[in-house]
Amino acid sequence: MTGIDDLPVRDELRGKSPYGAPQLDVPVRLNTNENPYPLPEPLVERIAERVREAARDLNRYPDRDAVELRTQLAKYLTDTSGHQVGLANVWAANGSNEVIQQLLQTFGGPGRTAIGFEPSYSMHGLISRGTGTGWISGPRNDDFTIDVEAATKAIAEHRPDVVFITTPNNPTGNAVPRETVLALYEAAQAAKPSMVVVDEAYIEFSHGDSLLPLLEGRPNLVVSRTMSKAFGAAGLRLGYLAAHPAVVDAVQLVRLPYHLSAVTQATALAALEHTDTLLKYVEQLKSERDRLVAELRAAGYDVVESDANFVQFGRFEDSHTTWQQILDRGVLVRDNGIPGWLRVSAGTPEENDAFLDAVREIKKEQS
Ligand code: PMP
């Protein structure tokens, strides 16, 4: 039987595994930070209408520059952050993973490096590898905050071309203070200068504000966003970034022609028309997230302060065993391989109840 290693694959891919959160058929799935609420019916209707219109032109390539969509994304960012963002500042792609890939193809690549402060979003490292960019695992404190001194030292030492800062951080849930981002940006400029990518995939769930206003006067800063979480549209595959217009021009050097299908653009535009309704679900999820934090603590678990739609909880002697015990009770959570910890996404109140019942029961059995 021919396997991967029998093929002439690139050396750096040998022996590696693809991204693979389990997609199991269980009653309660709280493992991939999805939004548990299906899109509301009037939005489903509007998507069908917009896609029907787009279908009439499917013999033609889509708008390569996605002008209408980028204009509406810019309006959303301006309305929600108070920071003026225009069409020229925004770029969109198939999920923020593709945005990150395009950034690494543009600013990373062979002979260059990227750094992230781990544990953090594993795809930053995986996409680095896939684009031939060397990956540097930067440090984090035991409480999962970023130690500014250690992080700036790592930047000065390694002089990376790309610096990733995930806020709120995945999988730990905590937000990175504005001052920390500023300090790392300054360190990155002094060392190289390099691009600093602030991954705000979960920012709509945060108690604090977006870092978009920091873009002012900082052309090497990028803020990346997604419609997968707050907009409840993980299946749509729509991510975007805000940055200086020169960054938007630069990523176009690597994007595939017509990368964003007409169907994707039409669907995203329909979803943006329903922003107010979708953000109401975000408020509900924030209060459910706060309830998960409080109830897990009341049950005797350690919990990392969360600004996201998920919660990191522990501590376990063997997190994989506990993961299995929770699964045996019909609830799928995430084992990110961080010793002693597991992560649960905020679901509907009923799903969260099922999860809380499971972990209370497990705690009781252990004591
Ligand atoms: N960034 C972070 C921090 C994430 O957790 C995720 C999804 N899990 C993404 C980016 C990618 O999201 P998408 O490609 O669905 O936009």
ipTM of the complex: 0.99
Task: Give the number of the atom of ligand 1 that is nearest the alpha carbon of residue 237.
Answer: 15
The closest residue, in CA terms, to atom 4 on ligand 1 is: 201
User: Where are the chain's structural domains?
Assistant: 23-38+276-366, 41-273
d(CA 308, CA 229): 10
What is the pTM (predicted TM-score) of this model? Answer: 0.96
pLDDT band at 366 (very low <50, low <70, confident <90, very high): confident
Q: Could you tell me the distance, in angstroms and rounded to a whole number, from the CA of residue 198 to the centre of ligand 1? A: 12
Q: Could you tell me the distance, in angstroms and rounded to a whole number, from the CA of residue 313 to the centre of ligand 1? A: 20
pLDDT at residue 20 is higher than 80: no
| Residues whose beta carbon lies within 6 Å of some atom of ligand 1 | 33, 95-97, 121, 166, 170, 199, 201, 226, 228, 234, 239
Residue 20: closest CA among 254, 363, 335: 335
Residue pointed to by tokens 């108070």: 82
Which residues lie across from 240 on neighbouring strands?
Answer: 92, 225
Task: Give the number of the atom of ligand 1 that is nearest the alpha carbon of residue 32.
Answer: 8
Q: Could you tell me the distance, in angstroms and rounded to a whole number, from the CA of residue 97 to the centre of ligand 1? A: 6
How high is the pLDDT of residue 22?
A: 76
Q: Could you tell me the distance, in angstroms and rounded to a whole number, from the CA of residue 248 to the centre of ligand 1? A: 20
Q: Could you tell me the distance, in angstroms and rounded to a whole number, from the CA of residue 96 to the centre of ligand 1? A: 6
Q: Across all residues in the chain, what is the average pLDDT? A: 96
d(CA 37, CA 229): 10
pLDDT band at 285 (very low <50, low <70, confident <90, very high): very high
Task: Give the number of the atom of ligand 1 that is nearest the alpha carbon of residue 238.
Answer: 16
- Return the CATH number of the domain spanning residue range 41-273: 3.40.640.10
How high is the pLDDT of residue 1?
A: 87
How high is the pLDDT of residue 24?
A: 84
Q: Would you state the structure tokens that stand for residue 32, as one six-digit string?
A: 């991939």
**CB of 106 closer than 8 Å to CB of 255:** no
Q: Of 11-25, 70-84, 234-248, which range is least confident?
A: 11-25
Residue from 91, 121, 198 whose mutation best tests the ligand 1 pocket (most atoms within 8 A of CB)? 121
Task: Give the number of the atom of ligand 1 that is nearest the alpha carbon of residue 96.
Answer: 16
Task: Give the number of the atom of ligand 1 that is nearest the alpha carbon of residue 227.
Answer: 16
- Return the CATH number of the domain spanning residue range 23-38+276-366: 3.90.1150.10
Task: Give the number of the atom of ligand 1 that is nearest the alpha carbon of residue 97.
Answer: 14
pLDDT in tens, 95-124: 999 999 999 999 999 999 999 999 999 999
Percent of the chain with pLDDT over 70: 100
Output the CA torsion sign for 271, 51, 238, 235: positive
